[in-house]
């Protein structure tokens, strides 16, 4: 036994490296935090800073600070700092983590921020299983704004907006965020801890470290809810406030682990490597060498073309598709084109129509107010647009009997039961293509090769292509037949 012992003292607990030693972003009192004496935030900050230090992730850490008393986290933490809008830190953190997967993103939020205005953001970040760590400081009150009720305010607890104490009948019950989020499948770790005494503080320290560590291991979403004192607003001294956390608050918000999948959770796979820059045009389908060669370059120079088409019907009748085929064929033939849909909710029963222009000049307006051809799939569509057709123009109508009151001087009509004719081809759904075939024959400007090419670009199923081609051919025949008939029947061409 030695009688002479020299003692050497080493720092066992001191300021974490992840804190600034002087708070230079603060306007005054740069050696003290802005928190009130006895506030739980400082204690939680120290736990978080210690976890960052211990895990060696200071350079990689991004701290997203909310609106609330902890709005100034960036005064203190010597890490990358983001100040976020009220309640939105989980959304901000989501994109930061996804953008920089190597970073450690921590969302630090109070109970007003997270459990009131930010409920949607925290719920969905948790449900997506974002690989972030959320520190949720719950002091059952809005402190920064001066003591208004929070969703977490206890039954009977007085606040400036519950002056008689919170009543379940009018303000509902304290929101149990940890329990709520633990009903989701994605989170890997959810624990509620408290700052009510030394033991609780030791447990909170471990929990916060785990939340950060889980992220560093790539496991997924972690949240630690910390019951934390607010002596100022609670109107207690710091020691009373601490005891209130343990003796009162904890009864409403029981401590414990609500989710721990950290053993079974597998680290998330790294995102696949980004493609080389010069591959990107091809990946987007815009690489010039992949675009089809056109068929009709000479066409536009030969003839002045200005085809203005309105195609109308009900949703599901292929109105937009034949418009696209027409425009695509026009482009293939070297024309200037535009296609403009009437758009609506994606429902089958609504009306649907599109404007198509094919022109040898640049298209000024893509809106076809006065069509040279109207394709009407049914009577309501006909009645909607028949008065707009220009003199000398055409109406292609799906129906046996063209309504007499829609007959107009100087407008040609091709009215046939296209649906039945399509049915004879094998499928009533290709009636649109039969009508397009007739339309193509009216103007006769588009080369067959362009129409074929357009069809192949827009229709992927080979069975449909074959059927559509038969339908287009049938439409062309029908138009020619009708001209012959009309020629035989009456003088003056097809004019009605």
Partner 1 sequence: MRKQLMKGNEAIVKSAILAGCRGFYGYPITPASEIAEAAALYMPKAGGVFVQAESEVAAINMLYGAASAGVRAMTASSGPGISLMQEGISYMAGAELPCVIADITRGGPGLGNIGSEQGDYHQVVKGGGHGNYRTIVLAPYSVQEMADLTALAFELADRYRNPVFVLADGFVGQMMEPVEFPQRAIEAPMPPWAVAGTTATRGNLITSLHMDCDDLEAHVLALQAKYKLAEQHEARAEQWCAEDAEIVLVGYGIVGRILKAVTAEARAGGLPVGVLRPITLFPFPIAHFQRLASRARVFVVVEMSNGQLLDDVRLALNGVRPVEFLSRVGGNVPSHDEVLQFVRKQALRFIGEERMAHV
Partner 2 sequence: MAEGNKFEAKKQDRGWLQIDGDECKGCGLCIEACPPKVIAMSEELNHYGYRTAIYAGAGCTGCGVCFMVCPEPGAITVFRAVVQRAEGSSRANARVEEAISCASN
Using CB under 8 A as the binding rule, the residues of this chain from 375 to 394 that contact partner 1 are: none
**Between 84 and 413, CB nearer to partner 1:** 84
222 phi, psi to nearest 5 deg: -125, 140
| C-alpha torsion sign, points 70, 74, 80, 86 | positive
**Which listed range, 92-100, 144-152, 242-250, 430-438, lies at the site for partner 1 (CB under 8 A)?**
92-100
- Is residue 306 within the footprint of partner 1 (CB under 8 A)? no
**Using CB distances below 5 to 8 A depending on partner kind, what does residue 24 bind out of partner 2, partner 1, none?**
none
Residue 121 touches which of partner 2, partner 1, none (Cβ within 5-8 Å per kind)? partner 1
User: Smaller CB distance to partner 1: residue 257 or 340?
Assistant: 340
Binding site for partner 2 (CB under 8 A): 2-17, 19, 21, 29, 31-33, 35-43, 45-46, 49-50, 53-54, 76, 195, 198, 201-202, 205, 231, 237-239, 242
Told to check if 435 binds partner 1 by CB under 8 A, we report no
Site size for partner 1 (CB under 8 A): 76
Residues within window 265-284 making contact with partner 1, judged by CB under 8 A: 271-275, 277-278, 280-281, 283-284
Residue 74 touches partner 1, criterion: CB under 8 A: yes
Q: State the number of CA atoms in the 13 A half-sphere of 340 facing the CB.
A: 15
Shortest CA distance to 222 belongs to which of 271, 174, 260? 260
Cα gap 179→253, rounded to integer Å: 10
102 lies in the site for partner 1, by CB under 8 A: yes
Q: How far is the CB of 376 from partner 1 (least distance, A)?
A: 20
- Pick between residue 31 and residue 251 the one whose CB is nearest to partner 2: 31
Beta strand pairing call for 306-314 and 351-359 = antiparallel
* Interaction of residue 161 with partner 1, rule CB under 8 A: no
For residue 214, the minimal CB distance to partner 2 (Å) is: 20
CB of 30 to partner 2, least distance (A): 10
Q: Name the minimum Å distance from CB 38 to partner 1.
A: 23
C-beta of 37: minimal distance to partner 1 in Å?
A: 21
Q: Which does 283 bind (CB under 5 to 8 A by kind): partner 1, partner 2, none?
A: partner 1
CA dist 490 and 466 (Å) reads 36
Where in 34-63 is the site for partner 1 (CB under 8 A)? 58-62
Q: Does 166 bind partner 1 (CB under 8 A)?
A: no
Q: What is the DSSP letter of 408?
A: -
Q: In this complex, which beta carbon is closest to partner 2, that of residue 106 or of residue 309?
A: 106
The C-alpha atoms of residue 138 and residue 389 are separated, in whole angstroms, by 68
Contact 173, 152 (CB under 8 A): no
Which tokens belong to 284? 């987007």
- Minimum distance from CB of 121 to partner 2 (Å)? 27
In Å, the largest CA–CA distance within the chain is 134
Dist CA 77 CA 44 (whole Å):
12
Closest CA to 232 of 144, 154, 150, 166: 144
Residue 407 is a binding residue for partner 1 (CB under 8 A): no
User: Residue from 17, 21, 56, 95 that binds partner 1 (CB under 8 A)?
Assistant: 95
Q: CA 384, 388, 393: angle at the middle one, nearest 5?
A: 120
Task: Give start and end residues of each alpha helix (H) in 333-461.
Answer: 379-385, 418-425, 431-443, 448-458
Q: SS3 for 376?
A: strand
Strands (E), 25-90: 61-65, 80-83
Give the β-pairing of 189-194 and 256-260. antiparallel
State in angstroms the smallest separation of the CB of 6 from partner 2.
Answer: 5
Neighbouring residues of 233: CB distance < 8 A, sequence distance ≥ 6: 139, 141, 143, 146, 147
Q: Which is nearer to partner 1, 260 or 336 (CB)?
A: 336
Residue 293 as a binder of partner 1 (CB under 8 A): the answer is yes
């Amino acid at each position: 036994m030695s009688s002479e012992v020299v003692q050497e003292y080493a720092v066992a607990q001191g300021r974490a490296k992840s804190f600034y030693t002087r708070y230079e972003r603060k306007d005054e009192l740069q050696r003290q935090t802005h928190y009130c004496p006895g506030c739980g935030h400082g204690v939680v900050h120290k736990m978080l800073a210690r976890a960052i230090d211990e895990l060696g992730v200071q350079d990689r850490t991004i701290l997203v600070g909310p609106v609330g008393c902890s709005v100034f986290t960036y005064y203190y933490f010597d890490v990358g700092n983001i100040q976020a809008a009220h309640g939105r830190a989980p959304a901000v953190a989501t994109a930061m983590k996804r953008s920089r997967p190597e970073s450690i993103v921590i969302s630090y939020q109070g109970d007003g921020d997270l459990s009131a205005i930010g409920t949607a953001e925290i719920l969905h970040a948790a449900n997506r299983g974002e690989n972030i760590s959320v520190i949720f400081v719950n002091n059952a009150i809005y402190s920064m704004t001066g003591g208004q009720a929070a969703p977490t305010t206890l039954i009977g607890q007085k606040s400036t907006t519950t002056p008689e104490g919170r009543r379940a009948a009018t303000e509902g019950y304290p929101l149990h965020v940890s329990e709520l989020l633990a009903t989701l499948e994605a989170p890997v770790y959810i624990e509620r801890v408290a700052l009510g005494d030394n033991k609780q503080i030791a447990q909170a320290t471990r929990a916060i470290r785990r939340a950060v560590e889980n992220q560093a291991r790539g496991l997924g979403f972690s949240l630690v809810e910390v019951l934390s004192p607010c002596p100022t607003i609670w109107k207690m001294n710091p020691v009373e406030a601490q005891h209130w956390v343990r003796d009162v608050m904890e009864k409403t918000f029981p401590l414990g682990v609500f989710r721990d999948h950290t053993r079974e959770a597998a680290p998330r796979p790294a995102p696949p490597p980004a493609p080389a820059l010069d591959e990107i045009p091809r990946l987007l389908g815009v690489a010039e060498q992949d675009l089809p060669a056109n068929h009709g370059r000479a066409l536009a120079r030969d003839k002045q073309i200005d085809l203005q088409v309105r195609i109308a019907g009900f949703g599901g009748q292929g109105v937009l598709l034949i418009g696209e085929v027409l425009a695509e064929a026009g482009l293939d033939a070297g024309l200037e084109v535009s296609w403009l849909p009437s758009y609506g909710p994606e429902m089958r029963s609504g009306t649907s129509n599109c404007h198509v222009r094919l022109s040898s000049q640049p298209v000024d307006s893509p809106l076809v107010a006065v069509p040279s051809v109207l394709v009407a799939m049914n009577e309501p569509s006909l009645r909607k647009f028949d008065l707009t057709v220009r003199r000398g123009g055409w109406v292609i109508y799906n129906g046996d009997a063209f309504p007499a009151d829609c007959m107009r001087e100087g407008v040609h009509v091709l009215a046939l039961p296209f649906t039945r004719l399509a049915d004879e081809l094998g499928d009533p759904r290709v009636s649109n293509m039969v009508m397009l075939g007739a339309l193509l024959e009216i103007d006769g400007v588009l080369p067959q090769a362009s129409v074929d090419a357009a069809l192949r670009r827009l229709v992927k199923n080979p069975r449909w292509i074959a059927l559509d081609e038969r339908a287009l051919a049938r439409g062309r025949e029908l138009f020619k037949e009708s001209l012959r008939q009309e020629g035989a029947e009456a003088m003056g061409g097809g004019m009605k």
